[in-house]
Amino acid sequence: MASIASQVVLHPVTSQSLRVLNTTIGRDKLYRGVQYFARFFAWLLLSRGYKIQAARWDALKSHLGLGRKLLRLGKFMENAQAILRTLSAPGETGERVTMIGRHIGYFGYLLLDNISWAHSIKFFNLQPSTAQKINKRVMQFWFTGIVFSIAHGLLKAGRLATEVKKLQNQTWAEKSAEAERDLKLQDLQLAREAVRYQFIIDLLDVWIPATNIGLVNFNDGVLGLFGLITSLMALRQQWFAAAGKK
């Protein structure tokens, strides 16, 4: 029995999981996945008339959402730094503009989210109408950030596709030059995969704030599934990132 316990505790998957959960973003994505599953499951139970059971999952969703706000305290400064770096960085104008727009959106979202958290724990009290306005602005900034992220992904995907096509059409006389081209193509393909991956996440996530600000009217079941899928996709990224830090 002790041997089985040791194998479980010391298993590489356990060690890898601990490396992921040792990071703030890893824990956040795990909590987010559970939060959106709870949102979906509460909707499912409620739609079938199980009000008491649905209330339990709805409470879990709410408390995880509040807990995740704590993990995001001060995170808006990362976006402030990213805005300044992008302003001075070289690159395609369209990609730089959309990336700046993305970071401005997330800066506003995270800053107001911190204020909303302070109000929710009664660190200071806002008028109900003011709190409601702030919560709406949070969703508007989040929506704006995702829309700019989608636009950035489209522009970057187009540029990378052009670069790949250009390299594939070139002919090389020397084998060393051809090998160098293959390495560049491999790097470009990896970049394209990363862009496509983030694009899928954005396309699913955008409906959450879009619903909250009234642009669409998806129910909690749909939004819960979208959030669960994107959380698992982001957690997968953290899993591979942690594997590279061994």
Is the pLDDT assigned to residue 244 strictly greater than 80?
no
Q: What is the pLDDT of residues 16-55, one digit of tens each?
A: 888 888 888 999 999 999 999 999 999 999 999 999 999 9
Q: Do the domain assignments include residue 178?
A: no
Q: What per-residue confidence (pLDDT) applies to 1?
A: 60
Q: Do the domain assignments include residue 227?
A: yes
Is the pLDDT assigned to residue 76 strictly greater than 60?
yes
Q: If you average pLDDT over residues 79-86, what whole number do you get?
A: 96
Higher pLDDT, 178 or 224: 224
Q: Do the domain assignments include residue 28?
A: yes
Is the pLDDT assigned to residue 80 strictly greater than 50?
yes
3-state secondary structure the chain: CHHHHHHHHCCHHHHHHHHHHCCHHHHHHHHHHHHHHHHHHHHHHHHCCCHHHHHHHHHHHHHHHHHHHHHCCCCHHHHHHHHHHHHHCCCCHHHHHHHHHHHHHHHHHHHHHHHHHHHHCCCCCCCHHHHHHHHHHHHHHHHHHHHHHHHHHHHHHHHHHHHHHHHHHCCCCCHHHHHHHHHHHHHHHHHHHHHHHHHHHHHHHCHHHHHHCCCCCCCHHHHHHHHHHHHHHHHHHHHHHHHCCC
- CA distances (Å), origin 153, targets 80, 85, 143: 20, 19, 15
Is the pLDDT assigned to residue 242 strictly greater than 90?
no
Range of the domain at 29: 13-71+219-245
Q: What is the pTM of this model?
A: 0.91
Confidence of residue 156 (pLDDT cuts 50, 70, 90): very high
Q: Which residue has the tokens 């909590």?
A: 31
Q: Do the domain assignments include residue 48?
A: yes
Is the pLDDT assigned to residue 246 strictly greater than 50?
no
Is the pLDDT assigned to residue 175 strictly greater than 80?
no
Q: Do the domain assignments include residue 109?
A: no
Q: Do the domain assignments include residue 137?
A: no
Q: What per-residue confidence (pLDDT) applies to 218?
A: 97
Q: Do the domain assignments include residue 142?
A: no
Q: Do the domain assignments include residue 228?
A: yes
Is the pLDDT assigned to residue 144 strictly greater than 80?
yes
Q: How many domains does the chain have?
A: 1
